[in-house]
Amino acid sequence: MIARTAEPAAPAQPPWPRSTAGALPAGSAERWRDLDYTNFKRRVLERFAIDLASYKSPQMRRRLRLLMERSQARTFTEYFRVLERRPDKQQEFQAFFTINVSEFFRNPRKFRYLGEHVLPELLARRSALRIWSAGCSYGAEPYSLACLLGAHPGEPRHYLLATDVDERILERARAAADYTEQDIRALPPESLERWFKPTGSGRWALDPALRSRVTFRVHDLLRDSFEGDFDLILCRNVAIYFTSDAQRKLFQRLSDALRPGGYLFLGPSEFIREGADIRLSETTTPSFYRKEP
């Protein structure tokens, strides 16, 4: 008996409309995709309080496509339906907005400048500092600050706030354990010896005494209110994903949260454009901005 050959499956229909003649109207597919994304942004804001309009559209849409592929969703409308019925996909989507790339003393030369110039200047004016690490990921940045502050003799109890939008990554930050060799590769030898203990298999844990000096909190830079009177704010490699308008508003709010003479430490690809009325002046060292007295 000769096996019957299966008939080829009909090609999947695209999710955008076609003309009555079956041809794709010029430009209609792109317009439909734009409308699909616009509706998705609105529904995400209403459902999850995440404002996608503040993120650069091309990069955001490209990155979201990876999540859509994992969920087998062809359109943003289909993907939103997945988010509505799948709690695990909701968690994946919300965690997607935290870029958890970090390490202790990331950009060592900048941290050297921070430790040798910025902190001594601030400590000469005020013995107990208020410092905020915004977008702190798993805690490497605020703990690096705690290491620097711990090197000053007679160090008082500074207020060191560390925030991130992702509660799960903050749980890891609070645990302060299971750091890899990659995480600690830029640590000064004296900090490694004083504050870290090996736990086996190339892993390290932070001394609880240093861990207790950092206050971690969930915080959304685009939605939540800011504390004030900070001497130093670190907000590195966060604003780069935002639109120009969202960046301007963020930098204004960060400036307002600083004391006069306080410092803002940005990432290497982030800049405050000239002409912006934000009262922050770039120092001779790129990435460091000082609020006007």
CA distances, 107 to each of 112, 152, 186, 284 (Å): 9, 21, 8, 17
Please give the pLDDT value at position 100: 60
Question: Can you give the pLDDT at residue 94?
Answer: 75
Instruction: Give the pLDDT score at 105.
Output: 95
Q: What percent of the chain stands above pLDDT 90?
A: 56
- Burial track 112-139 (b if 16+ CB lie within 10 A, e otherwise): ebbbeebbeebbeeeeebbbbbbbbbbb
Rounded to an integer, the average pLDDT of 144-171 is: 88
Say if residue 34's pLDDT is above 70: yes
CATH topology assigned to domain 108-291: Rossmann fold (3.40.50)
pTM, entire model? 0.75
256-265 mean pLDDT: 97
* Position 154 confidence tier, pLDDT thresholds 50, 70, 90: low
pLDDT value of residue 102? 83
The segment(s) of the chain belonging to CATH 3.40.50.150 are 108-291
Name the pLDDT band for 5 (thresholds 50, 70, 90).
very low
Band the pLDDT of 8: cuts 50, 70, 90: very low
For the segment 115-140, the average pLDDT, to the nearest whole number, is: 95
Using the structure block, give the residue that is written with the tokens 């509505």: 84
pLDDT for res 91: 78
Helix (H, G, I), strand (E, B) or coil at 188: coil
The most confident of the ranges 68-72, 165-169, 197-201, 210-214 is 210-214
**What is the chain's length?**
293
Write out pLDDT tens, residues 190-244.
999 999 999 988 899 999 999 999 999 999 999 999 999 999 999 998 888 888 8
pLDDT at res. 26 = 53
Arithmetic mean of pLDDT, 246-252: 93
As a whole number of angstroms, the distance between CA 19 and CA 9 comes to 23
Q: Read off the pLDDT of residues 277-292 as tens digits, 9 standing for 90 and up.
A: 788 998 989 999 999 8
Give me the mean pLDDT over the 178-198 stretch.
94
pLDDT at residue 6 in the model? 40
Q: For residues 275 and 273, what is the distance between their CA atoms, to the nearest angstrom?
A: 6
In this prediction, residue 97 carries a pLDDT of 66
pLDDT classification of 189: cutoffs 50, 70, 90: very high
Q: What is the dihedral of CA 189, 193, 197, 200, to 10 degrees?
A: 50
pLDDT number for residue 99 = 59
pLDDT band at residue 116, thresholds of 50, 70 and 90? very high
Mean pLDDT rounded to a whole number for the chain: 86
